[in-house]
């Protein structure tokens, strides 16, 4: 296969260009693809679909830790969504065949998808008609072991390169924190109904100003017997794959709302 025939894959994340998760992703992809990385220059976790307006953003090409002829790496001062916009309209000379975001240090299943910068990068690429996948490992540790999931990353990337994805569909893939021989395979799922229950630790200043820290607990809102959810899959040793979209319309309620006698 000549250099020209290799697929072009755009890579980003929200943990920053130096995070082990994206390094593992790059090493997995670069053996069969031309890879261009445009990723934040530091942590941008939980930045969701935020973009930077009314401010200048900075980027530069950086020397990757594992240099490879198929690899170029850019570091950007913006959010994950800023990185994708920059890549598509400022850096890449052609439309990529695929955009892959991650591997995130921590879960993006259930309601986490709405807070996730990793998934926002994938969704932003999807909006421009580029097949896209976000990968996350259920381990928040900076030194998490990404190796057991890498064969699934490769399998899913290959399948999407082969089959493409429909317009406006992006894959949200989560990998359980398990050794390779305990992962049972891949399961296509839906997003579980879930939310975060916050705890706020408030302290008072002398001048009546307050400061506080947020923390929280992930709560599922469906019984454990719902076997079609991403949460069930992950709890039962599967890699979860949720087809994900960005039409926020609550279609099922539209008819009833029309009858509210406006």
- Tokens for 162? 């082969």
- Minimum distance from CB of 234 to its own copies (Å)? 15
- Minimum distance from CB of 107 to its own copies (Å)? 14
- Minimum distance from CB of 145 to its own copies (Å)? 23
User: Which residue, 30 or 59, is less far from its own copies as judged by CB?
Assistant: 59
- Minimum distance from CB of 165 to its own copies (Å)? 8
User: Which residue, 1 or 56, is less far from its own copies as judged by CB?
Assistant: 56
Indicate the helix (H) or strand (E) that contains 173.
strand 170-175
Give the pairing of strands 194-204 and 210-220: antiparallel
* Alpha-carbon torsion (65, 26, 52, 196), positive or negative: negative
User: Which residue, 34 or 47, is less far from its own copies as judged by CB?
Assistant: 47
Distance CA 5, CA 163 (A): 17
User: Which residue, 7 or 43, is less far from its own copies as judged by CB?
Assistant: 43
Give the pairing of strands 238-244 and 210-220: unpaired
* Alpha-carbon torsion (103, 104, 106, 108), positive or negative: negative
């Amino acid at each position: 296969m000549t250099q020209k025939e290799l697929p072009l894959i755009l890579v980003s994340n929200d943990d920053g260009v130096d995070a082990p998760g994206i390094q593992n992703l790059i090493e997995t992809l670069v053996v069969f693809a031309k890879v261009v990385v445009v990723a934040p220059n530091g942590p941008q976790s939980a930045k969701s679909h935020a973009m930077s307006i009314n401010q200048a953003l900075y980027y530069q090409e950086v020397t990757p830790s594992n240099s490879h002829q198929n690899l170029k790496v850019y570091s950007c001062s913006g959010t994950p969504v800023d990185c994708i916009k920059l890549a598509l309209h400022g850096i890449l000379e052609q439309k990529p065949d695929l955009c892959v975001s991650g591997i995130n240090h921590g879960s993006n299943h259930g309601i986490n998808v709405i807070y996730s910068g990793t998934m926002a990068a994938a969704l932003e690429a999807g909006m421009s008609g580029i097949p896209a996948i976000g990968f996350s490992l259920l381990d928040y540790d900076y030194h998490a072991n990404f190796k057991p999931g890498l064969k699934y990353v490769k399998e899913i990337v290959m399948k999407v390169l082969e089959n493409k994805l429909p317009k406006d569909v992006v894959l949200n893939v989560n990998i359980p924190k398990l050794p390779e021989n305990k992962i049972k395979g891949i399961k296509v799922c839906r997003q579980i109904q879930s939310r975060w229950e916050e705890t706020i630790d408030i302290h008072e200043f002398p001048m009546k100003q307050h400061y506080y820290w947020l923390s929280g607990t992930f709560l599922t809102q469906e019984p454990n017997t719902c076997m079609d959810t991403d949460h069930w899959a992950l709890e039962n040793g599967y890699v979860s794959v949720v087809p994900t979209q960005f039409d926020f319309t609550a279609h099922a309620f539209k008819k009833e709302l029309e009858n509210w006698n406006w």
